[in-house]
Structure 1
Amino acid sequence: MKVGKDLVAASATPIVLGILADGESYGYAILQRIAALSDGELAWTDGMLYPLLHRLERLGAVESRWDVGGNGRRRKHYQLTPDGKALLAEQRQQWQVVTSTLSQVWA
């Protein structure tokens, strides 16, 4: 099954914020986590993730820092800010309304 672009775009922010709520992470690990959580149904690319992370950073929802991984390569790590936690709570409430409504419509 292919998830439509509109649905992927609409769910991107709460998915990334939710992943970062578990702790800081870097781009490739975020992409791997999305694929794992969706059983491979959501296969995001760098071109989808990094513009979102940069937008969230501009909004003050995430902050980043450079770190050197175990293989000696530099990675940019992202973590939620207090504003990001508030945005995640807001997104969660909105999605609960949407999923509740869809559940009722499909029942």
Structure 2
Amino acid sequence: MYLTTMYGGEFMKINKELLKGSTTVLILSLLNRKDMYGYEMIKEIELRSNGIFSFKEGTLYPILHNLENANYIEAYWDNSTGARKRKYYKITECGKGILLEKESEWKLFSNTVNSVLWEAKLCLV
């Protein structure tokens, strides 16, 4: 299955499995910066990825539920802005540890793929 997106003025296909394997680190990374509600995460991921990554609510909320069950994030309700109540998510200490692991895995993985694709020397940072 592919995700079709606009990149550099052209439509490109990205295998959804590539994004699927990155969702945990993307969400935890956002929540490590600040607490967010679901729709805010969707928009932030779209913005930071220049529209390449686009989550539907039906995709994001099951992921958030799984992260909450794993104790990587916690949810709470807030209506302090005077607007309607919103369910916010925040990263837990356990989630911060997992984020560090996932970031290290990602660096190794992306450096390795890049070294194979572009014949660069592997840089283990």
TMscore range, shorter length: over 0.9
* CA deviation after TM superposition for structure 1 residue 70, in Å: 3.6
Inter-partner Cα distance in structure 2 for 1:61 and 1:50: 14
CA contact (8 A) 1:67 1:76 kept: yes
Letter in 1 for 2:47: A
CA distance in 1, matches of 2:73, 2:13: 29
Q: Provide the residue aligned with 1:8 in structure 2.
A: 19
Q: Distance in 2 between matches of 1:41 and 1:69?
A: 33
How far did residue 80 of structure 1 move? 0.5
In the other structure, the counterpart of 2:66 is 55
TM-score by length of 2: 0.81
1:85 matched to 2:90: no
Q: How many Å separate the matches in 1 of 2:16 and 2:59?
A: 11
* Selected match of 1:46 from 34, 37, 57: 57
Higher helix share: 1
- In 2, the alpha carbon distance for the partners of 1:3 and 1:33 equals 19
Aligned residue for 1:94? 105
- Richer in strand (by share): 2
Deviation, 1:72, is 2.0
Q: Is the radius of gyration larger for structure 1 or structure 2?
A: 2
Instruction: State the Cα distance separating 1:3 from its structure 2 match.
Output: 2.1
Which shifted more, 61-70 or 75-84?
61-70
What RMSD, in angstroms, separates the aligned Cα atoms of the two structures? 1.1
Q: Does 1:74 align with 2:85?
A: yes
Structure 1 gaps, min length 5: none
Amino acid at match of 1:10: G
Which ranges of 4 or more aligned residues in structure 1 deviate by more than 3 Å?
A: none
For CA contacts below 8 A with separation 6 or more, give which structure has more relative contact order.
1
| Matched letter for residue 26 of structure 2 | I
User: Matched residues in 1 for 2:117 and 2:80: separation?
Assistant: 46
